[in-house]
Amino acid sequence: MSMTGDLTHIPPAYVIGAGPGGLATAAALKARGVRAVVLEKSPSVAASWRGHYDRLRLHTTRALSGLPGLPIPRKYGRWVARDDVVRYLEAYAEHHQLEIISGVEVSRVERNGDSGEWRLHATGGRELTGRAVVVATGYNHTPHLPDWPGRASYDGELQHAAHYRNPGPYQGKDVLVVGTGNTGTEIAVDLAEGGASRVRIAVRSLPHILRRTTAGWPAQRTGMLVRRLPVKLVDRMAAKTAKWSVPDLGEYGLPYPASGLYSRVLEGSIPVQDVGFIKAVQQRRVIVVPAVHGFEKGRVVLMDGTEVEPDAVIAATGYRTGLEDLVGHLDVLDEHGRPRTHGPETLPHAPGLYFTGYTNPISGMLREIALDAEKIARAAAKAVG
């Protein structure tokens, strides 16, 4: 699968990253007769998926999560497990016979003078040129820890959720999980079920919680149906649906949010899909506490002024794209470091530079990556040609 020949003989389209977005786009490019070379800094494909926590499963259905040209096998079930996602991506690269160069990290992308090409600076002093570049290094690239007051001097155990694998090391321990996104809530449930003596979860913004399925209907399909409707209409529909499908957790510290679900999605906050969190909160196996204000030696200070002394703190506080060094100098990122364009769109001063996998739509990231791959391939084929 990996190749080490002369990459400059035929200027290809370069794809940076061998995750789902990179592999899907490379396959779509190849189907259009465009030579696509995938550059991956890790030894193998699906590096980020290999690093996720053990119990993770797709929150989108198998049937709606396959990439172009190869469906996910039915034997993996409706909600595909992490290890099976990795197996699928390995099989995907092999099935399409993708040209993947592993162990090569691209540090900078820049315009190659007035030639209309891009120059990529990579590991070992390599300089590669091509007319099209697809950046697909992933939505969850660089773990983010807030700069809480006193964090630097905190002498307790504090780690980002990116390093959490399973509850084994936390059996019998008092654990504080910070963050109520899908990762934080699922890790909290994993800890509660896995033997932690106490699990608290610190809440900054009240999450919208959805059932993963209702009467067999997956939340993903609803997301697909409503994403082009007016925002306020979807907010009203979601509020009514929540009232009869999700119990009021106000007495446990999680009342229904006042803000609209879809309004929050457009701000970058994806609803929590319930995989046992509701029951864990109702049974008080996961205790809701206020957001973290800061740290004082071995104590964690919460926003209401109370202090707790957990044995461990797991911060499910999100990620950054980490694109500043790679493309920040090209004026293609917004103030949050996210690409200003995605899919087949490019900026006038950066033709042939594409981004995929940096949005998190309610219709499912893998599904949108698959759709974007075909669109990018059409646009990039013209750029290369």
Yes or no: say if 25 and 363 are a contact pair by the CB < 8 Å rule: no
Q: What is the pLDDT of residue 7?
A: 39
Q: What is the pLDDT of residue 3?
A: 40
**pLDDT digit string, tens, across residues 122-132:** 998 999 999 99
**b/e string for 14-41 if b means 16 or more Cβ within 10 A?**
bbbbbbbbbbbbbbbbbbbebbbbbbbb
pTM for the model? 0.91
Joined together, the tokens standing for residue 315 give: 């911060």
Joined together, the tokens standing for residue 214 give: 């209702």
Joined together, the tokens standing for residue 192 give: 């509660």
User: How many Å from the N-terminal Cα to the C-terminal Cα in the chain?
Assistant: 25
Distance CA 350, CA 62 (A): 35
Joined together, the tokens standing for residue 346 give: 């490019």
Q: What is the pLDDT of residue 267?
A: 83
Per domain, the residue ranges of the chain are: 13-141+321-384, 145-315
pLDDT tens over the chain, length 385 residues: 444 334 345 578 999 999 999 999 999 999 999 999 999 999 999 999 999 999 999 999 999 999 999 999 999 999 999 999 999 999 999 999 999 999 999 999 999 887 789 999 999 899 999 999 999 998 888 999 999 999 999 999 999 999 999 999 999 999 999 999 999 999 999 999 999 999 999 999 999 999 888 878 888 888 888 888 999 999 999 998 888 889 999 999 999 999 999 999 888 888 999 999 999 999 999 999 999 999 998 899 999 999 999 999 999 999 999 999 999 999 999 999 999 999 999 999 999 999 999 988 888 899 999 999 999 999 999 877 6
Please determine whether the domains at 13-141+321-384 and 145-315 fall in the same fold group of CATH. Answer: yes
Joined together, the tokens standing for residue 92 give: 């995907």
Q: Which CATH architecture has domain 13-141+321-384?
A: 3-Layer(bba) Sandwich (3.50)
Distance CA 64, CA 183 (A): 21
Distance CA 247, CA 365 (A): 27
The CATH number that domain 145-315 falls under is 3.50.50.60
The set of long-range contacts for 140-145, using a CB threshold of 8 Å and a minimum separation of 24, is 140/48, 140/319, 141/48, 141/319, 141/320, 141/321, 141/322, 141/323, 142/319, 142/320, 142/321, 142/322, 143/319, 144/317, 144/318, 144/319, 144/320, 145/315, 145/317
Of 165, 167, 209, 207, which is closest to residue 189 (Cα–Cα)? 167
Yes or no: say if 318 and 144 are a contact pair by the CB < 8 Å rule: yes
Of 172, 207, 223, 191, which is closest to residue 59 (Cα–Cα)? 223
Joined together, the tokens standing for residue 266 give: 């457009």
